[in-house]
């Protein structure tokens, strides 16, 4: 059994890669896209849901889902940055990516996509590719109770439109030890978030963590915009949300802080790079964290974890 497990994980490692020395980029078919306004039957819920299903051919490979208060239109209301959200691999076919994330500007009706993968032709390196898709032709319907849902307009023959998102490789990130602030500001900034961990007690029959039991999140951030900068983040505030936290960096010039709203599952990351002469470069990323929480066996302790998640920054 042990042997089998090793073989399988090695095989998965080989599959989760893409050619990086390509100039044509990568194409993702959008099999389905749907926007749902708040469910007016649910009192107190003002959340809009957007979902996009991606594939390389006809089988859905990734399900991308995000939720935010409808009035935000895809942008965090405090930082005014795009909200990135994880695309979950369905397990059908072979995923070529380490993580895939999307964001939607609902004012402009544009979908943004970013994905990170191992380079099959440059062992030990990772590629980040980004792209956009305008959803200009949408059909929106309103249910009797007034909530909206929108889908891409069908073709004149009634077929699904052929929607594709093309992404292209971002230039290789400058090295953390030698990068200047101008190098960094020219590079698209994003991170892979790993080792998401949060714990709380949920008394049976209740829906809110028991007072004083929520640890808040801890995680690591690996910069994709500055090669070799990694942050270790932990909650420093009291055990009620929204949580505040600090990230320790392995690069002296870099620091980061975060806030996490457990009600909306919105994580905000602020990276600061010391540019000398008391100037600093600040980069803000926002992610919708749908880390799942599992109840321990015979226990009321919930533990939340997540696969690696890509957190992007402002529009590409
Ligand atoms: C942002 O939205 C949240 C949730 O709807 C709300 O509680 C908060 O007051 C808003 N903040 C600002 C600055 O608008």
Residues 236, 241, 247, 253, CA torsion sign: negative
Strands 280-288 and 83-89: parallel
Which residues on neighbouring strands pair with residue 193, listed in sequence order?
A: 221, 309
Closest to 287 measured CA to CA, from 308, 316, 272, 301:
308
Distance separating alpha carbons of residues 169 and 184, to the nearest angstrom: 17
- Residue 242: asked if its preceding bond is cis (omega within 30°), the reply is yes
Q: List residues near ligand 1 (CB under 6 A).
A: 69, 77-78
Spacing, Cα 252 to ligand 1 middle (Å): 34
Closest to 249 measured CA to CA, from 272, 229, 273:
229
In this predicted structure, what is the pLDDT of residue 2? 40
* Block mean pLDDT (10 aa), the chain, length 316: 39 64 89 89 86 84 94 96 94 82 95 95 91 89 79 87 93 94 95 97 90 96 96 92 94 96 96 94 96 88 94 87
Closest to 115 measured CA to CA, from 103, 132, 102:
102
> What is residue 117's three-state secondary structure?
strand
Residue ranges with strand state E in 39-188:
47-55, 62-69, 83-89, 99-105, 110-119, 126-134, 138-142, 148-152, 163-169
Give the tokens for residue 84: 């990135």
- pTM of the entire predicted model: 0.91
Among protein residues, the one whose CA lies closest to atom 6 of ligand 1: 77
Which atom of ligand 1 is least distant from the CA of 77? 1
In this predicted structure, what is the pLDDT of residue 281? 96
**What domains are defined for the chain?**
5-169 (no CATH), 181-311 (2.40.350.20)
In this predicted structure, what is the pLDDT of residue 171? 92
Spacing, Cα 77 to ligand 1 middle (Å): 6
User: Longest C-alpha distance within the chain, in Å?
Assistant: 63
């Amino acid at each position: 059994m042990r042997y089998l497990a090793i073989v399988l994980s090695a095989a998965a490692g080989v599959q989760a890669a893409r050619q990086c020395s390509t100039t044509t980029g990568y194409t993702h078919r959008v099999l389905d896209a749907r926007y749902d306004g708040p469910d007016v039957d649910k009192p107190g819920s003002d959340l809009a849901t957007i979902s996009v299903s991606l594939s390389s051919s006809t089988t859905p490979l990734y399900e991308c889902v995000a939720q935010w208060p409808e009035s935000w239109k895809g942008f965090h209301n405090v930082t005014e940055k795009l909200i990135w959200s994880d695309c979950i691999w369905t397990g059908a076919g072979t995923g070529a990516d380490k993580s895939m994330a999307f964001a939607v500007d609902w004012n402009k009706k544009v979908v943004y996509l970013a994905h990170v993968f191992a380079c099959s032709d440059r062992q030990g390196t990772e590629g980040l590719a980004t792209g956009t898709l305008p959803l200009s032709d949408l059909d929106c319907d309103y249910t009797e109770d007034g909530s909206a849902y929108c889908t891409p307009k069908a073709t004149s023959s009634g077929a699904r439109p052929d929607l594709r998102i093309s992404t292209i490789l971002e230039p290789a990130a400058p090295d953390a030890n030698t990068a200047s602030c101008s190098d960094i500001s020219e590079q698209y900034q994003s991170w892979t978030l790993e080792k998401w961990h949060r714990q709380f007690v949920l008394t049976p029959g209740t829906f809110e963590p028991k007072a004083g039991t929520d640890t808040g999140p801890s995680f690591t951030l690996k910069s994709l915009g500055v090669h070799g900068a990694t942050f270790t983040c932990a909650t420093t505030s009291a055990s009620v949300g929204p949580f505040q936290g600090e990230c320790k960096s392995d690069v002296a010039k870099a620091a980061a802080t975060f806030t996490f709203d457990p009600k909306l599952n919105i994580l905000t990351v602020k990276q600061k790079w010391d540019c000398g002469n008391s100037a600093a470069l600040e980069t803000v990323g926002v992610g919708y964290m749908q880390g799942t929480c599992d109840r321990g066996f015979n226990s009321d302790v919930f533990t939340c974890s997540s696969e690696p998640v890509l957190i992007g920054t402002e529009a590409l």
